[in-house]
Structure 1
Amino acid sequence: MSAQDSNGRMGRATLMVAVLGVVYGDIGTSPIYTMNILFGRTGLAVDAVNVLGALSLIFWSLVLVVGLKYMSFVLSADNDGDGGVIALATLLRRHSRRHARALALFLGVVASALLVGDGLLTPAISVLSAVQGLELVTSDLAEWVPELTVVVLIALFAIQHRGTAKVGRLFGPVMLVWFLLLAGIGVRWILEVPGVLVALDPRHAFWFMQHNGWIGFLTLGTVFLVVTGSEALYADLGHFGRRPIQLTWFLLVWPALMLNYLGQGALLLSEQGSPGNTFFGLVSGHWLIGLIAIATLATVIASQAIITGLFSLFRQLSDLDYFPQLRVSHTSVTQPGQIYIASVNWLMMLGTLLLVLGFRSADGLANAYGLAIGAVTLITSLLFLAYQRKVKRRGWAAILALGLVFLGVDLAFLTALATKLLSGAQIVVLISGAILVLMLTWRWGQRRLRQCQELAAPLSEFVASAPVQSAVRTHGSAIFLTRTAGHVPLSLLHNFRHNLVLHRETYVLQIEIEDAPRVRLEEKLELERLGSGFFVAVLHLGYMEHPRLEGILDLLSQSAYPPSYEHPSLFLSRVRIALAKAGKGPSLRARLYAFMQRNTPSPAFLLGAPPEQLIEIGVHYKL
């Protein structure tokens, strides 16, 4: 074997370990609570038909949803290497007509709102289920489990500002130990009851449904918990690529999960009666303390991945103009994707803690968990089928075949999950609905502002006008940020009217967020010379990129018309909303948008502009 081949294999192995720490945290901690909920809260009798049937449903759910749908098909739909429902929606948008583009992006936005609701529940149910293992150590700790969970979660959210660059190196090895442990403790019980392996026969799933009727169908809402992390596989595609995610799943994660589920089933078959805690019941004595400790650590890692994923999601939504611009802090000098958003972090912490203290047990949280992500997987299927038809030009026969499998499974799960609406899931619907209202309101307000700005005089007419041609010129360069490069920025207009002077070089800059996650360096900047010292610049960025003043200045300095002065002044418009008082007064939507606009950080902060180079000019708009 050559040294190059050896290094290549070592690199792939290292990458696969890293995948474990980021991609598989959510789905990898599902064994802690799924079987407990199936044979606890749902009230299923612990007998051979139910145990083998439930295991069969779990096995084939992992095969159809994760193995077939995501691993074999959906991961192939990448947007310049990036994955996730937003990436899929924007990819489809580029290849569709106007109304279809709007529908695709709307579905992506709805799915994003649902992911936020799910993101609050995942840390709550994961950490709470792990800490509940302490009840087996001593019953005196049972009533303190929610409070101990709160302490763990507060610590988790409190360290987010430090970023994952350092602790992230530990995530992969810890999760590797976790999956090996899942497999090991499962194998021990399978050897005790080898007959449990017959659960892989799909007939046991049909016999389970036949035996339990409607109740059996409703248990799909709990079985779905084993695949709730499947959307994360797709969302993290851009971080690791398709091949490492697939190899890690088929070689380690899937076998480890199934061995553990089968081990829990073997435990139930060997001790039919009161199920207790089937996961922590797999070990005893001093092993129990160790299992509780590593399970808690694994759920913290899973929660960490969810939290950082939502940071990226909110940033994408901001760049697509569906959410206000947020104060983003970069936590790594080498990985631009590692970011921290304080407002999102603390609001997530508040929501997660309220859920823990409100439901107080993993069984209770299971009533609310799953519905949001079930709807997201259905939206992903719809967008993927449209992608196969519109982009890949698949025939209707192939689309119909895939649709029957994907939509059939998704709709079955979603129907069962919908019954949770009256027992706790309504809280997730309310959270996701509120987020969706905020996003659509912001989008509406930004469009209204853009329409108002487009009423301004064309920039070419302004430059050619007599007052501009005869204006006094001051030394230096200035950059005026605008949303519509073809029109006069109001900050430029107001500054000229009040001061009656212009800079020797004036750059009117528009930042355009493209559908692609990233834009090639040579395509980022378009620069046009208008004459009389005026230039129009359009900066093209992907939705995964972030505009910073120093980067903008670097691009301008390397352009055909670089600024003559080293530190140009940056002029920004600070929006002020005046509500119209026509008829019965401003609408609730206008009031909400005005409130959001008032509490949005200044663009200067988001661009990282030094105070000595910044001039903000207030601009009033009436809605």
Structure 2
Amino acid sequence: MSSSATSSPNAPAKAAAPSLVLGAIGVVFGDIGTSPLYTLRECLKAAGGITQTNVFGIVSLILWAIIIVVTFKYVTFVMRADNDGEGGILALTALASRVAPERLRQVLLTLGVFGAAMFYGDSMITPAISVISAVEGVTLVDPHLAEWIVPISLVILTGLFKIQKRGTGTVGKVFGPIMIVWFVTLAALGLSHIIPHVDILRAVSPTYAFVFVTHAPGTAFIVLGSVFLALTGGEALYADMGHFGKRPINLAWLFLVLPSLVLNYFGQAALVLDKPSTIAQPFFQSAPSWALVPLVVLATAATIIASQAVISGAFSMTKQAVQLGFLPRIPVVHTSSHEMGQVYVPFINISLYAAVVFLVVFFKSSDNLAAAYGIAVASTMLLTTLLMYFITHDLWKWSPLKTAVVIVPLALVDAVFVSSNVSKVMEGGWFPLLAGGVLFTVMTTWHKGRETLMERMRSDNLPLATLIHSLCDGAHSPPRTNGTAVFPGGVAGMAPSAFLHNLKHNGVMHQFNIFMAGTTDNVPHVPDEQKAVVEDLGHGCYSVVVRHGFTEIPNVPRVLEFVQKQIPEWHYEPSDTSFFLARDTVLATGESKAMSLWREKLFAFLARNAAQAAEYYSLPANRVVEMGGQINI
């Protein structure tokens, strides 16, 4: 078997088009590209001040952390594991669960869900710390503006979340050029301080990082928690792979982003050695006084773009989680008629906005927010490495030795970063852990609740084929009415409750009856010709198993167009079709052996507040009939 996972069918088209490289620069690297605003400052503060050993050792650690974690792990290694062209922790989980041993698949799903929950924590903190760190530059223009940092940040963030419903397509066209200007500026600022202090380039040698760690291992361990700030956004390279392809991201990283970041970090290091008083804001003070205001404006624009990237990522993650059965139905709005990946999720948008406002108001500065930043991302990175074990061992068929040589060192590096960030839990790291823990509980409860609900429906409902034959073969078959009745959202092989309610209350069957049961495959997209499998039950009744990928949103009317190709005697006519949906109320009884009572109640609450099935299935509102019932779990 080849050494890469299934490639996207669009991969050739994404080889290295300049527009894709530009798009990748504008979207993928916003988070990691704005890390120089605060990373070196936080590292030196954690180290206890400026000494040559500290500065050389820290900038060497930053350099080699970027090379090992971002360049080697993600760009060279993890991005080879694409799930039909898609990346990200849930896509990787779906891919790993396809090839892992059966007994481990539930464990892998749990790891993937935890990683996804931690990603949401990152999506809350990134906009807050990015924007507030950029706005803090105004204090160098006028110290009296310090009291305006929080209000200005809130205004910017409010505007950012308010425009989400318009989609990122139009705004995205200007992201790339702005970020190119940003990275060129980073490189220029760094070079302006490296050239007169070229001695700082000796820190390229990893011996300085080694000396720093061995000289004061306790301090170095704490500092690593701040060094990790230089890596936040590394997961985005993999998560956004499906939008741009591997090669455009690789080219942008190797030839622009990586050199710009390294030059800027080394330039800041040279500056603080030459002028220790700049330690409070080494990034902004690396610019000449005449360029300070334009730099603050440019930094603010870059941080808005960085925030946009994680917000869009949260929308995409939510769509995947709903399809994979880890979140209840949530309204998803497509903001582009051309790009299926551009979506807006109102509930997630308002939830993220509320969390970001809380973080800005509660923590008030990027110094304080830095303590909350890191542990969520570090946890996701560690889980990615663990999942990659199954890709290398079970999919790529690497030998145990080769797998261990690559996975073990990467896992150790990730574990060190997770451990070093644990020290920041009481200072603010509790927030992403709390948010992630709540989301993990919700996602696992919904997943287990759905399984329990499906088992209850299989035990309580009648086999569909048996029921159809008993109804239609007997002397007292129900009268038939013209048109087509479609029953979406059923359990494969079982009679849907909406059908039984219709028989009970209306006493009729339609001329044609189509019973649809949906499944989500562990692939991003299912080809149109494979979306529907039709079984003829006789008497004008058909059982249809509908397959979707985890990035696709069900569209029942569109699927019916594929179904009609397999039923010669039937033609889909929207005006002659009625959609029957079960509006069942879930009641927690405490009888389930799989869940405790409080989780049953949580599942029932989530079920009551899920989006309407008609909206989720893209059904025409004037053709929908809802029939209520009650299910005890």
Q: Which range, TM-score by smaller chain? A: over 0.9
Could you say which residue in structure 1 is the equivalent of 2:625? Answer: 615
**Alpha-carbon spacing, 1:391–1:141, altered in 2? closer, same or farther (3 Å):** same
Distance 2:340 2:596 in 1: 41
- Of residues 479, 485, 489, the one that matches 1:482 is 489
Bigger Cα displacement from structure 2, 270-279 vs 443-452? 270-279
Q: CA deviation at 1:86?
A: 1.0
Structure 1: distance between partners of 2:574 and 2:219: 72
Q: Are the aligned partners of 1:93 and 1:105 in contact in 2 as well (CA < 8 Å)? A: yes
Tell me which moved more, 369-378 or 283-292.
Answer: 283-292
Paired AA for residue 60 in structure 1 = W
The Cα of 1:185 is off from its aligned counterpart by 1.1
Structure-2 separation of matches of 1:135 and 1:237 = 38
Q: Which amino acid aligns with 2:42?
A: I
Q: State the shift of 1:10 in Å.
A: 11
Q: 1:287 to 1:466 in 2, by over 3 A?
A: closer
1:522 counterpart (526, 529, 533): 529
Give 1:240's aligned residue: 244
Q: Deviations over 1:214-257 (max 9, x none)?
A: 01221000000111111111111111111111111111100000
Deviations for 1:536-556, whole angstroms, at most 9, x for unmatched residues? 111111000111233123222
Correspondence for 1:463 = 468
Distance 1:155 1:572, change over 3 A: same
Residue 33 (str. 1) matches residue 38 (str. 2): yes
Q: Where does residue 603 of structure 1 map in the other structure? A: 613
Which residue number in structure 2 is paired with residue 3 of structure 1? none
* CA–CA distance in structure 2, aligned partners of residues 466 and 317 of structure 1: 39
Residue 101 of structure 1: how far off its partner (Å): 1.2
Q: Name which of 132, 138, 156 aligns with 2:136.
A: 132
1:581 CA displacement: 6.8
Partner of 1:5: none
Q: What TM-score, normalized to structure 1?
A: 0.96
What secondary structure, in the 3-state scheme, does the structure 2 residue paired with 1:279 have? helix
C-alpha separation between the residues in 1 aligned to 2:101 and 2:401?
23
Counterpart of 1:464, as a letter, is H
Q: Is the alpha carbon distance of 1:527 and 1:581 closer, same or farther for their aligned partners in structure 2, counting shifts above 3 Å?
A: closer
Does residue 145 in structure 1 map to residue 149 in structure 2? Answer: yes
> What is the deviation of 1:528?
1.3
Contact persistence 1:476–1:564 (CA under 8 A):
no
Q: Is the 8 A contact 2:14 2:247 kept in 1?
A: no
Q: Does 1:259 align with 2:259?
A: no
CA displacement 1:553-589 (0-9 Å, x = unmatched): 3222333344354431111111202232779x98111
* Cα displacement (A) at 1:71: 1.0
Alpha-carbon distance between aligned partners in 2 of 1:558 and 1:344, rounded to the nearest angstrom: 38
Structure 2 gaps of 5+ residues are 1-12
Identity of aligned residues (%): 37
Q: 3-state SS of the aligned residue for 1:465?
A: helix
C-alpha displacement of 1:529: 1.0
Is 1:512 the counterpart of 2:519 in the alignment?
yes
Query: Distance between the aligned counterparts of 2:462 and 2:390, measured in 1?
Result: 41
Q: CA shift at 1:466, angstroms?
A: 3.9
Alpha-carbon RMSD across the aligned residues, in angstroms, is: 1.7
Deviations 1:125-155 (A, max 9, x none): 1111000001111011112211211111010
Is residue 571 of structure 2 the alignment partner of residue 580 of structure 1? no
Q: Map residues 347-496 of structure 1 onto 2, 5 A cutoff.
A: 347-455=351-459, 456-466=461-471, 470-496=477-503
Q: Distance in 1 between matches of 2:471 and 2:14?
A: 69
Structure 1 position 284, deviation (Å): 2.6
Q: State whether residues 15 and 245 of structure 2, in contact with CA within 8 Å, keep that contact through their aligned partners in structure 1.
A: no
Task: For 1:414 and 1:388, locate their aligned partners in 2 and report how far apart those are by CA, in whole Å.
Answer: 23
**Counterpart selection for 2:563 from 556, 561, 573:** 556
Aligned to 1:4: none
Q: Which residue does 1:325 correspond to in 2?
A: 329
Whether the aligned pair in 2 keeps the contact of 1:519 and 1:542 (CA below 8 Å) is yes
Larger CA deviation: 30-39 vs 307-316: 30-39
Larger mean CA deviation between 83-92 and 8-17 belongs to 8-17
Distance 1:559 1:280 in 2: 65
Give, in whole Å, the separation in 2 of the partners of 1:480 and 1:402. Answer: 50
Q: Does residue 68 of the first structure (1) align with residue 72 of the second (2)?
A: yes
Q: Give the SS at the match of 1:433.
A: helix
* Cα drift, residue 68 of structure 1: 0.8
1:304-330 CA distances to partner (integer Å, 9 max, x unpaired)? 010010001011111111110110000
Aligned partners of 1:268, 1:400: CA distance in 2, in Å? 41
Deviation at 1:405, TM superposition (A): 1.9
2:19 maps to what in 1?
Answer: 14
- Describe the shift of the 1:236–1:468 C-alpha distance in structure 2 as closer, same or farther (beyond 3 A): farther
Structure 1 counterpart SS, 2:424: helix
Q: Which residue of 2 aligns with 1:591?
A: 601
1:277 aligns with 2:281: yes
Matched AA of 1:122: T
The TM-score normalised by the length of structure 2 is 0.94
Q: How many pairs does the alignment contain?
A: 614
Residue 223, structure 1, aligned to residue 227, structure 2: yes
Shift of 1:468: 7.0
What is the alpha-carbon distance in structure 2 between the residues aligned to residue 151 and residue 342 of structure 1? Answer: 19
Residues 582/331 of structure 1: CA separation in 2 closer, same or farther (3 Å cut): closer
Alignment correspondent of 2:541: 534
Provide the C-alpha distance between the structure 1 equivalents of 2:300 and 2:441, rounded to a whole number of angstroms: 35
Q: 1:206 aligns with which of 200, 204, 210?
A: 210
CA distance 1:9–1:433, shift in 2 (3 Å): closer
- Which residue is 1:103 aligned to? 107
State the alpha-carbon separation in 1 of the partners of residues 192 and 529 from structure 2. 58
